[in-house]
Structures are given as structure tokens and as C-alpha cells.
Amino acid sequence: MIKMSQNKLNKQTDDKNLENKVDGNVKVEPASNSGNSGVETRLHTPDICPACHNKMQRYNMGSLEAYDIYSCQLCGSLFLDPPVQRRDVDNFYSDLDPEVVHIANHEKRIKALRKLIDKIVVKPEGKTFLSINTLQGYAVEAAKDFRFKEIRGIDRYDFFVDFAKRNYGEKYFEAISVEEYAERGETANIVVSIESFSTQVDTEKHMQAIAKIMKPGSILYIEEVDGNSHFLPNDLTRWAYLQPPITTNFISEKAMRSLLERNGFKVKKKFFNWGIMMKLVAVKVK
Ligand SMILES: [Zn+2]
């Protein structure tokens, strides 16, 4: 069992800007406002969709535990009401005391990641590779096959980083948020982000931090559940991916593209797949 240190938790919960930003976006409506079936306003609906930045037109999709699930009718992204706060996630993990183990067939996963890196990186020589939301560290292990100048993996939670360090090498990993990493002035030429946006309480701030790490010409790979995928189950309340407060929102591909453009990226390539994932390669253009 892996214990999370209380200091670490306090540090993470200390991100006041993040919480204020989310709070600032939330409009509290009186409960009597909810009446029409299908489209209604409950307690906490932002005026503006956090993903596509259009005026929020809410469509309710059911309830799960303490949360209502709804989508933005304009971009199809999925959100939770009330919106998850960072302290909710930290408290959740603190209570859970997570034990990190390998995913099933993790060697196969690493092999697939090697193939992926080979597809998105032309010349690894002299470049810095960064895996964000690195979890067990598989992307870092895969990157060791290439001649990167430097390979790093970061994750907000030290229980994942401890696991990654034990399995794939102390020197590669650090428990730090992307925001703090960007704030420190770190840079990377290749950033691999796998299912990192769905766990963010503020996706715009997350993308801004990624953008800050990357200079023009740098490559960003995003793999994320498409909140508007045709392959999503009809009943989202029984959907394994939706695990509040760990997963808090699922941005549609349309909204992800606008989020990328707003932050200086241009989508260069899209990998097709039959499932619910969107797989985009974007280049930093400014
Ligand atoms: Zn939207």
C-alpha cells in the first residue's frame, strides 16, 4: 500500500488560482429554474462552455452519485454538475490510499507506445520528451528506445510517480502538476498527453500550461476520450470511464481543436480508430 504524504496533499490543494478560476465560471441558479425536460438548468451551469467558449446550452444526460452529467449542445463535450474541485480529487485519493499496480498487458501497452512515438517524432536526436499525466510511466519506458536528449515523466500524484520510479528509473520522474512545471520555466519538444484532460478541473488552464512548456515547432500528442463520440454508451451512468471525481469532463474533438487553436497549436494529424478515443498530433505554431 502506498501512502500519500500530507505535505504533498496540502501543496496540491494550495493551488488557489485554479479553484478561483473554476468558482468564477460557475453561475448559481435557483433550483426552480429546472423545469423543462431534456434541457434544463440545475445548480451550477457556467455561462460559457469551458471547452468551446460558446454560450452554454445545457443538455442533461443523467445522474451519477452526487453529480449530474450534462453536455454542451454546441460542441458535445460532457461535464459534471457540480463541477469537481481539485480538493475533491485530493480528498478522494487521500481517503482511498491508492495502491498502484500494472495495467493488464502492460508490456503490450509499452510496445504500442513505442510505435506511436515512432509515428509522431521524426528526429528524436537533441530533443526533450515529456510525458504528462504519466501514471505508471509507460510512455517514458517506451521513449527510452529513441535517441532523445532527455526523457521525463511527470504526474501530479506521488503514488504514481513512486511506482514509475521503482519500475522504470528514479531519474526520469517527478511528482509535479503541469502548471507548476510550466511555472518553473521547463521546456519540452515532444509532449505526450494521454487521458490528462479528462482529469482536469480547468482544461483551459491545463492547455495554457502545456503551451507554455512548448516552443514553436514542438509536437503535442493528445489521446483523450471524445465526449461526443458515436461509440459512447447510451446510458452514461454505467460507463466505466466516468469516475467522478477522478474523471471530471470529456471534451469533444471539435472543442479540443478549438482549445488547441486558442493556445497556439495547429492540428497536423489525426489517427483514426474505431473506438471512443480521439488521437491528435498538433504542432505549436506561435
Ligand atoms: Zn461547448
Q: What is the mean pLDDT of residues 208-216?
A: 98
Instruction: Evaluate the omega torsion of the peptide bond into residue 245 and state whether it is cis, within 30 degrees of 0.
Output: yes
Mean pLDDT of the chain: 87
pLDDT at 35: 38
CA of 243 to the centre of ligand 1 (A): 21
Does the pLDDT value for residue 244 go beyond 70? yes
CA of 164 to the centre of ligand 1 (A): 35
CA of 160 to the centre of ligand 1 (A): 32
pLDDT at 286: 87
CA of 204 to the centre of ligand 1 (A): 13
Contact assessment for residue 128 and residue 152, using Cβ atoms and an 8 Å cutoff:
yes
6 to 84, 135, 182, 188: CA distances (angstroms): 21, 20, 24, 30
Kindly indicate the confidence band of residue 282, based on its pLDDT and cuts at 50, 70 and 90: very high
pLDDT at 65: 84
CA of 158 to the centre of ligand 1 (A): 33
CA of 182 to the centre of ligand 1 (A): 26
pTM of the model: 0.84
Does the pLDDT value for residue 15 go beyond 50? no
281 to 22, 221, 264, 266, 278: CA distances (angstroms): 28, 5, 13, 9, 10
The model's pLDDT over 74-118, given as tens digits with 9 standing for 90+, comes to: 999 999 999 999 999 999 999 988 999 999 999 999 999 999 999
- The backbone torsions φ and ψ at residue 136, rounded to the nearest 5 degrees and listed phi first, read -75, -10
CA of 55 to the centre of ligand 1 (A): 8
> What DSSP designation does 252 have?
-
pLDDT at 40: 42
Does the pLDDT value for residue 57 go beyond 60? yes
Q: What is the mean pLDDT of residues 50-57?
A: 96
CA of 284 to the centre of ligand 1 (A): 23
pLDDT at 43: 67
- For residue 171, with 0-12 CB atoms within 10 Å meaning exposed, 13-18 middle and 19 or more buried, which class applies? exposed
Does the pLDDT value for residue 5 go beyond 80? no
CA of 53 to the centre of ligand 1 (A): 6
CA of 78 to the centre of ligand 1 (A): 9
CA of 234 to the centre of ligand 1 (A): 20
The model's pLDDT over 193-209, given as tens digits with 9 standing for 90+, comes to: 999 999 999 999 999 99
CA of 254 to the centre of ligand 1 (A): 9
Could you say which of 3.30.230.10, 3.40.50.970, 3.80.30.20, 3.40.50.150 is the CATH number of the domain covering 106-284? 3.40.50.150
CA of 253 to the centre of ligand 1 (A): 11
Give span(s): CATH 3.40.50.150, the chain: 106-284
